[in-house]
Amino acid sequence: MAFTDFTNLDFDQIRASIKDYLRANSTFTDFDFEGSNFSILIDILAYNSYLTAYNTNMVANEAFLDSATIRENVVSLARNIGFVPLSRRAAKANISFTVLGLNSSIQTITLKAGIVCTGSLDNTSYIFSIPEDITVGVSNGQATFSEIEIYEGTYLTKTFTVDTSQPNQKYIIPNPYVDTSTIRVKVYNDAQSSTSEDYSSVNDIVGISSTSQIFLIQEVSDEKYELFFGDGIFGKKLSNNNQIVISYITTNGPAGNGASNFVFSGILRDNTDAIITSSITSVVTNTPSQNGDNLQSIESVRYYAPRLYASQRRAVTAGDYEAILPSIYPNIESVTAYGGEEMMPPQYG
């Protein structure tokens, strides 16, 4: 006799199904399934069946975007349709300050990439940085840094050496909580080279040639990010011994929102690369820090990934706009779009 109705995954139901199967067999007609050691064997079979059914169900769930619950699996499934989840976003503030008492021989002043200010919020200090150097001219012994956008977080760098003998070499940023919009990539010919080429991030390969200096980003395990470079067909291919210098900012996300009191902590250098020690005015806050956000949630990835794939990044239908806008403006919580044909009276065009 076969199991003809085995649809329940509950342990007690599995146990009862095994007993019913054995009772239907004439060999075990006179057995006492409750009071004998046979009961222990039935329990073992039921437990084994229960655990196998549970694990099989979980594995099957993780194979589909709609039912997966582990972030790494959700991200992997979304990656198959060209969707990259939004990273954490650093809170950004806008500040200005002036450097006074500069020597007349100094022509330019450069604010170096990295920490610029510390900002206080609820008795907690946060570091604010910039992802690249900012250079301004000197006039009448002073230099004004106006309307500078600073990011809450710590500025870090990671260097890789290209080794073409490793066919599967990976370029993974070792830190989580990275704001991918702050990633900057410079590629040097080798470790001794002083000149570099800037590579820019792209979301797709449309319009990319064999000489385009580009890289792509994807989320991998533990909320870290991996960078991909061209293969000589789509994007410029890296050469052996190239030095890749990746800089980025790791952030606390929404925790940095609201800081408005800033104290300068940056590094200033003149056109001869000497450190500036002249007096610096108080930092003026043009806009307090805002728009910091967490990593895109699993639910959001499930919702937007198939819709962005369906739109093919083209804004044609109302659904296309709903899918595309959050990728352009990461702080959007929800979007409702409608066409003129839905208005009363309809307005076309």
Residue 164 has pLDDT above 50, yes or no: yes
What's the chain's average pLDDT? Answer: 87
Query: Which of 220, 250, 280 lies at the terminal end of a domain, its last residue?
Result: 250
Q: Dig out the tokens for 46 from the structure.
A: 């039921």
Of residues 59 and 315, more confidently modeled: 59
Give mean pLDDT, residues 87-93: 95
Is residue 2 in a domain? Answer: no
Residue 3 has pLDDT above 70, yes or no: no
For residues 253 and 87, give the distance between their C-alpha atoms in angstroms, rounded to a whole number. 10
Is residue 349 in a domain? Answer: no
Residues 82 and 166 in one domain: no
HEC-encoded secondary structure of the chain: CCCCCCCCCCHHHHHHHHHHHHHCCHHHCCCCCCCCCHHHHHHHHHHHHHHHHHHHHHHHHCCCCCCCCCHHHHHHHHHCCCCCCCCCECCEEEEEEEECCCCCCCCEEEECCEEEEEEEECCEEEEEEECCCEEEECECCEEEEEEEEEEECEEEEEEEECCCCCCCCCEEECCCCEEEEEEEEEEECCCCCCCEEEEEECCCCCCCCCCCCEEEEEECHHHCEEEEEECCCCCCECCCCCEEEEEEEECCHHHHCCCCEEEECCCEEECCCCECCCCECCCEEEEEEECCECCCCHHHHHHHHHHHHHHCCCCCCHHHHHHHHHHHCCCCCCCCCCCHHHCCCCCCC
Weakest-pLDDT range from 17-31, 104-118, 213-227, 275-289: 17-31
- State pTM to two decimals: 0.78
Residue appearing with tokens 């909320």: 223
Is residue 212 in a domain? Answer: yes
Is residue 4 in a domain? Answer: no
> Could you give the percent of the chain with pLDDT greater than 70?
93
Residues 128 and 267 in one domain: yes
Give mean pLDDT, residues 57-85: 88
Is residue 5 in a domain? Answer: no
Q: Which domain holds residue 75?
A: 71-86+296-342
User: pLDDT by residue (tens digit) across 120-131?
Assistant: 888 899 999 999
User: pLDDT by residue (tens digit) across 167-185?
Assistant: 889 999 999 999 999 999 9
Residue 341 has pLDDT above 80, yes or no: no
Residues 56 and 76 in one domain: no
Residues 163 and 176 in one domain: yes
Is residue 49 in a domain? Answer: yes
Give mean pLDDT, residues 278-286: 88
Do 111 and 146 meet the contact criterion of CB atoms below 8 Å apart? no
Residues 194 and 169 in one domain: yes
Residues 333 and 203 in one domain: no
Residues 322 and 260 in one domain: no
Residue 331 has pLDDT above 70, yes or no: no
Residue 1 has pLDDT above 60, yes or no: no
Give mean pLDDT, residues 7-32: 73
Residues 161 and 309 in one domain: no
Residues 169 and 223 in one domain: yes
Residues 259 and 227 in one domain: no
